[in-house]
Amino acid sequence: MKKYKICLWIIVSLCVFFSTIRGVSADETALTQKEVADLAKPSVVKIIQKVKGDATIPLIEVNFTDLSVKTKPDVPPEKIQIDEYLTGTGVIVSPDGYIMTNSHVISYQTIKNLIASDYIYQAIDDGYARLSEAEIKKINENGSREEMGNFAEKIADYILSQSNFNLEKTITVLNPSSRKETLEELANEGFTASVVSVNDNFFKDSRDAALIKIDQKNLPAIKLGTSTDVSTGKKVYIFGYPSTAEIDEKDLLEPTFTQGAISATKESINKDFKIFQTDAKISKGSSGGPLLDDQGRVIGLVTFITSDLTKQDGDSFAFAIPIDTAKDIIASGKISGELPTYQEGDYSSYFKTGLEFLKGNQCKKALTEFDAAKQNNPDYNLSGYLNPYVQQCGGIISSGKSIDTGWDSLKAKFGDTKYLILIVSGSGIILIAILVTAWYWLFRRMRKDEKELDNVEEFLDLNLEDGRPYPKEPSEKEEKDKLFFDRLKPK
C-alpha cells in the first residue's frame, strides 16, 4: 500500500511543477475607456428616416380660461409640403441585421408631431397673449402642473385628429464604408431597413423602443447586458450621432463617444418602469444609441434629454430606458416581423478574447483572435479598430516578452534567463533525486517482500507459484521397500 502512496505523491509533485510552467489565464477585468470605444463603435449606426408628402393642418384657438381648444371659424386649413430627413442612432444587436433604436426615430408619429407642434405653439402663444394680467395671475395660482400637462395633451390630440397626412417614408441605415459627403448621397448608398417592432404611442407612455432589420449578415453585433444590477454611481459610456457634434456634412458617419455615471433612477411618466438618468453628454440625434457598462455591454437605450423648458434652470441630463425594459417593449410592440435572438457578433467575441490574451502577454494567441475578429461583413472595415492592439502585440513579440510556450511563462515569472536556468536545473536535480529515492525505496520494499514470501513458502512447504506441494525426498525405509517390490515384479 505504501508504494502506491509514494507514486501518488510523485504524480502530485509533477502536476504542481508543470502547472507553474503553464501559468494561469488572466481573469476578466473591466475594459479601459479606449477598449470600450473600440469594441462598441462598429455596432453603432446612423439611422435616416426620409419623409415625403403633404399634410393639411387646421388653425386652432386655445382658451386658457376654460381650457378649451377649437378650430378657428371661417379659416381654411393650411396645406404644406413635406420633404424632411430625420436622423437618429441605433445599435446592432444581432449579426443577422437586427438593430435596436427608439420608436421616435422611425415612427410616422414623429413627423406628425413635429409638423403639428409649430401650430400648437403658435396657438398657445396667441391664447396666452389674449389673457389679462388678472387672468394670468389666477391661472398661475390655481393651475397645477398636472392640469396644464393634461391640457397640452388635449391640444395635441385635437390638432392631430383634425389633420390629414399623406406621407411616404423610407428608413435607411447608413453604410459605414460609404465615401459620400452629403446626407442625401449617404442615404442613397445606405441599407434599406424594415420595421420589425414599433410603439407609435411612445409620446404618451414613454415606452420608446423599436427594432428594425437590414438585409445584411455577419454584422458586428454587440452583447446585451442586464439592467437589474445597475445602480447610482455606476460608470457608463454613450455612443451616438448628436447633431450638435457635426462640424460639417463630411463627418456624418463619425459617432461621438461620451462617458459619465448613473446619476439617479427615475420613474417613467406612467410609473410602470424605471429610467436611468446619467450625466454623460448627448443631444438630438443621439436617440437610440447604446448606454454601455465598463465591459462594453449594452445596459440601456438612450432616449431623451432634459427638456428645453427646464434646461435653462440648471444642468442637462440624458435619460435611458433599461435594456431589459427595452426588450420587453419591443416584444409587446406593433410587430411586423420575427423577433431575433439577441446575439453577440464574432467581432465583439474575438476582440474580447484577444484582449485577454494580450493582457497576459500571450501575443501569438491574441493575434489569432484579432485576425478572426476582422472576418465580418465586408462593408464593416474593422482593421482600424484592431491595428493598435496588433501593433502592441508585435512590439511585445519583438522584445521577446511574448508568453507563447511553457519556457516563456517561466521566463516571465522568474525574470533573468540565467536565474531561470539555475532554477529549472535545480528543480530538475531535485526531481531526479526524488525519483531515485522513490525507486530505491520501492526496490528495497520489493526485495523485502520477496524474502517474506520465501519464508512463507519454506514454512508451508509449498510452491506458491503454482499452488502445488514440493516433491518430498524419500526416506531410507521407503527406498528399501521400493527396491524390494521392484524385485518381485515379473520380468
Judged by average pLDDT, the poorest of 190-194, 304-308, 431-435, 472-476 is 472-476
The predicted pLDDT at position 412 comes to 53
Q: What residues form DSSP beta bridges with 260? A: 236
- For residues 216-220, give the mean pLDDT: 95
The full set of domain ranges for the chain reads 1-24+416-491, 33-335
pLDDT of 436: 80
How far apart are alpha carbons 405 and 22 in whole angstroms?
8
Which has the higher per-residue pLDDT, 151 or 29? 151
Per-residue model confidence as pLDDT tens digits over 193-210: 999 999 999 999 999 999
Q: Is the pLDDT of residue 135 over 50?
A: yes
Which of 61-70, 101-110, 228-237, 420-429 is least confident? 420-429
Mark residue 56 as left, alpha or beta (left: phi above 0; alpha: psi -120 to 50; beta: remaining): beta
Average model confidence (pLDDT) for the chain?
83
More confident call, 490 vs 346: 346
Q: What is the pLDDT of residues 433-470, one digit of tens each?
A: 788 887 777 777 777 666 666 665 555 555 545 555 55
Q: Which three cell numbers stand for residue 97?
A: 441585421
Least confident window among 355-359, 368-372, 465-469: 465-469
How far lies 194's CA from each of 340, 421, 443, 470, in Å?
14, 65, 80, 97
Q: Band the pLDDT of 349: cuts 50, 70, 90.
A: very high
What CATH number has the domain spanning 33-335? 2.40.10.120
**CA distances for 455 relative to 443, 452, 459, angstroms:** 19, 5, 6
- pLDDT value of residue 37: 96
Strand pairing category for 256-267 and 274-278: antiparallel
pLDDT at 9 over 50: no
Q: Assess whether pLDDT exceeds 50 at residue 10.
A: no
Average pLDDT of the residues in 370-374: 93
- pLDDT confidence of residue 12: 45
Q: What is the pLDDT of residue 287?
A: 94
pTM of the predicted structure, to 2 decimals: 0.77
Measured CA angle at 196 (ends 56, 327), to 5 deg: 115
Tens of pLDDT, residue by residue over 68-79, are 999 998 899 999
